[in-house]
Structure 1
Amino acid sequence: MNELKQYKQLPNDKEALLTGHNYEMYNLDLMRKVFPRIIREFNEKHVRKQRRPQIRDIVTLYFYLLSYVDGVHTRADGTQSERFGASFPSRDKIAGDLGIAEKRIKSLVDILETNGLVRQKTVWNGKWYFPSFCPCVSEDGYLVDEDGRKVTPNLAIY
C-alpha cells in the first residue's frame, strides 16, 4: 500500500504530451537496432583507436532535423507546400545548437542519407532535409522500403 502512495506522476508525462502540441512519435527500433548497426559498421571501417572520427552525433543530428520538420501541408492559397516534411535549419544553426563542428555536418547527413534516414534537397538558399519516420525496420537494423527491400548503405560514404 505504501508503494502506491509513494508513486508520483512525473511532470510532462506521456498522456499530457499526447493530448498537447509539439509531440511526435518515433520508431523505437531506430535506437534499438538502426543506430547501433550504423555505429558498429562505422567503427569497423575506422578501426584505429586514436583520433577515430566520431559517429555518435548522427543520433542527435537525426532527431534535431526531425524536430524541425515543417508540418504545414497546405499553403494559404490552397496549394500543397513543397516544404512539407522538410527540415531546413542552416549548418551554422545546427553547429551552434548541437555543438557539432560545421565541417562535420555534411558527412553526418550523408551517412544518414545512405542509410535511408534523411533525403537531401539543395535549394537556392541552402539545404532541405527530409527525415524519414522509418515505419519499417528489419530485425538486423536496416530500414525497409515500400517494396519490402532493405535499404543497404553505401559503406564508402562512411
Structure 2
Amino acid sequence: MEYVQRKALPNDKGILMDSPGYEIYNRELIRKVFPRIITEAYDVVYKDMKRKPEIRDIVYFYFLLQSYIDGNETRKDGANNDRFGACFLSYDAITRAMRIDRNRIKLLADILETNGIIRVVDRWEGTKRFRWYFPSFCPRITEDGYLVDEDGEKIVPDLEKYKAKRRGQKKSP
C-alpha cells in the first residue's frame, strides 16, 4: 500500500486531525438542519409571541452532548456498557456549562429528539432517575434539511414538542 501525502489544510486543521481529542461533525447539520429548525420555530411556532425562546441554543446543546459521550463499550467489570455513546453530563453540569435554567434542557432535548438528532433514554436505579442523551452524527440529510431514518423515511418533527410546558399546565392526551 502506498502512502498518500495529505494536502495542506488551513489554520492548523491537519495538526488537529492528527491530535487526540479530534472529532468529526456533519457540516450539513450546521448548513441545513439547524437553520431549518430555527426558522421553523420562529416562523411557525413562535411567530405571534413577543418574547421568543432562544431555540438557537439547540446548536450549543447538541455539541455539548457530542463533547461528553461515553466512549467505553464495556464497563470495568467487562459487561456491556448500556450508556455507550450517551452523554454522561448531569443536568447540573449542563446548566452550569450553558448558563441556562434547568427547565430549558428538556425543551432543547425535545426539539432535537423530535428531529431525530438525539435519542433520549430514561433509566431508573432505585428511586434515582438518569436521563441519557444519545446524539447522532446524522449521516443522511435531505436537501431541505430533514434527517432520514434507517428505513429511508424523512423525519418530520412534531412542532408541538417545540412548545415549553408551563408550570401547572396539563399534558394533552
- Report the TM-score, using the length of structure 2 for normalisation: 0.80
Shift, 1:132, TM fit: 0.7
Aligned to 2:18: 19
Counterparts of 1:21 and 1:74, CA distance in 2: 21
Contact 1:57 1:100 in 2 (8 A): no
Aligned to 1:40: 39
Q: What amino acid is aligned across from residue 32 of structure 2 in structure 1?
A: K
Residue identity over aligned pairs, in percent, reads: 53
Q: What amino acid is aligned across from residue 48 of structure 2 in structure 1?
A: R
Counterparts of 2:36 and 2:84, CA distance in 1: 29
Counterparts of 1:75 and 1:90, CA distance in 2: 19
1:120 counterpart SS class: strand
Which segments of structure 1 move beyond 2 Å, counting only runs of 4 or more?
74-80
Counterparts of 1:100 and 1:59, CA distance in 2: 14
Counterparts of 1:150 and 1:156, CA distance in 2: 18
Shift, 1:64, TM fit: 0.3
Counterparts of 1:20 and 1:107, CA distance in 2: 35
Q: What amino acid is aligned across from residue 121 of structure 1 in structure 2?
A: V
CA separation of 1:103/1:33 partners in 2, compared to 1, >3 Å: closer, same or farther? Answer: same
Contact 1:72 1:81 in 2 (8 A): yes
Counterparts of 2:14 and 2:82, CA distance in 1: 32
CA separation of 1:32/1:78 partners in 2, compared to 1, >3 Å: closer, same or farther? Answer: same
Counterparts of 1:50 and 1:100, CA distance in 2: 20
- Report the TM-score, using the length of structure 1 for normalisation: 0.87
Shift, 1:51, TM fit: 1.0
